[in-house]
Chain A
Amino acid sequence: MTLIETLFPLGWQHYLLGGLTIGAGVALLYLFNGWVGGMSTVFSSTWSYAFKRPFLQQERFLSSRQWRLVYAAGVVLGALVWRMALAGGEAQHTSVPVWQLLVGGFLAGYGARLGNGCTSGHGICGLGALQLPSLGAVLTFMGTAFLTANLMRLV
Chain B
Amino acid sequence: MNTPMNPHTLTLPKALITLLAGALFGFGLSVATMIQPEVVLGFLRFQDWGLMLVMGGAAGLAMLAYKGFPNWFKRPLLGGQFLTQPAQWNRQTVVGSALFGIGWGLSGVCPGPAIAALGTGNTDVLWALAGIVLGGLAHALTARE
Residues of A bordering B, CB below 8 Å: 7-10, 12, 14-40, 42-44, 47, 51, 53-56, 58, 63-64, 66-67, 70-83, 86-87, 90-96, 98, 100-134, 136-138, 140-150, 152-153
Given contacts A17-B57, A67-B15, A76-B26, 10 further A-B contacts (CB under 8 A): A10-B50, A39-B111, A73-B19, A101-B124, A109-B135, A115-B98, A120-B25, A121-B85, A137-B97, A140-B101
Task: List, sorted by A's number, 21 A–B pairs whose CB atoms are closer than 8 Å.
Answer: A19-B55, A23-B57, A28-B21, A36-B83, A47-B136, A53-B141, A64-B8, A76-B119, A82-B120, A83-B119, A103-B106, A106-B134, A107-B99, A108-B99, A115-B95, A117-B97, A123-B59, A127-B59, A129-B67, A136-B93, A144-B102
Name A114's closest neighbour in chain B (CB-CB).
Answer: B96
Please report the C-alpha to C-alpha distance between residue A133 and residue B93 in the assembled complex, in whole angstroms.
8
**Residues in chain B near residue A14, CB distance under 8 A:** 31-33, 50
- Chain A residue, CB-CB nearest to B60: A23
A130 to B133, CA, bound (A): 29
- 3 closest pairs, A vs B, by CB? A74-B22, A105-B131, A115-B96
Q: Mark B17-34, 1 if CB is under 8 A from A, else 0.
A: 111111111111111111
Q: What separation, in Å, do the CA atoms of A77 and B66 have in the docked complex?
A: 25
A contact residues around B118 at 8 Å (CB)? 76, 79
Q: Nearest CB to that of B122 among chain A residues?
A: A92
Query: Whole-angstrom distance from the CB of B18 to the nearest CB of chain A?
Result: 5
Q: Report the minimal beta-carbon distance from B86 to chain A, rounded to whole angstroms.
A: 7
Q: How many A-B residue pairs have CB under 8 A?
A: 547
Q: In the assembly, what is the distance between CA of A42 and CA of B22, in Å? A: 13
State whether A67 and B48 are in contact (beta carbons under 8 Å apart), knowing that A21-B27, A22-B57, A105-B109 are contacts in the complex: no
- Are A22 and B29 CB-contacts (below 8 A) given A78-B119, A109-B132? yes
Q: Is the CB of B101 within 8 A of A66?
A: no
> B residues within 8 Å of A by Cβ?
6-8, 10, 13-15, 17-39, 41, 44-51, 53-67, 69, 73, 75-78, 80-89, 92-112, 114-125, 127-141, 143-145
B112 to chain A, nearest CB (A): 5
- Select the residue from A42, A82, A110 with max chain B CB neighbours within 10 A: A110
Tell me, in angstroms, the Cα distance from A66 to B110 when the chains sit together.
21
B109 to chain A, nearest CB (A): 6
What's the nearest-Cβ distance from chain A to residue B60, in Å?
6
Q: Is the CB of A141 within 8 A of B104?
A: yes
